[in-house]
Amino acid sequence: MQKWGSIKRRHVAIRLKEPLENWSEETIERVVESFIEEKFPTVFALNKIDHPDADKNISKIAKMQDPKSIVLCSAISEVFLRRLAKQNYIKYIEGSEYLDTREDLIDMGDPDGGGLKEMDEKLKKYSSSHII
């Protein structure tokens, strides 16, 4: 009589060609490195993308690393957006990619513009930083 009915549990190690005890140091090292790469991938957070020479640096790093492991960010832009939201110039959720200005909300049908203040041209220029 089987305890689990149709479910059969077998450990992967049973089917190994070579028992674990006989693995070489090199094999163990390869297995551990593969496990670490899979479970704990390295992510590169490239800050200061708002600097003039950022494009050069980003493309240099993107050639050397997997582009999927690269996150572009701008801490100063995030601080600026938070400040604008606190002063009621924009609607912004911290860390989000999206923000709404008074004009955006009026265009979407809110006649009051969400109660946000009117932004001057200088603020409009800097609020569109497209934080990732």
pLDDT digit string, tens, across residues 11-36: 555 566 777 788 899 999 999 999 99
Residue 11: the pLDDT is: 57
- Residues ≥6 apart with Cβ < 8 Å to 123: 84, 89
Domain boundaries, the chain: 2-39, 42-72, 74-131
Distance between CA atoms of 12 and 121, rounded to whole angstroms? Answer: 64
Model-level pTM? 0.51
Residue 12: the pLDDT is: 55
CB of 123 within 8 A of CB of 89? yes
Distance between CA atoms of 23 and 70, rounded to whole angstroms? Answer: 35
CB of 76 within 8 A of CB of 54? no
Q: Which of 3, 8, 25, 70 is nearest to 43 (CA)?
A: 70
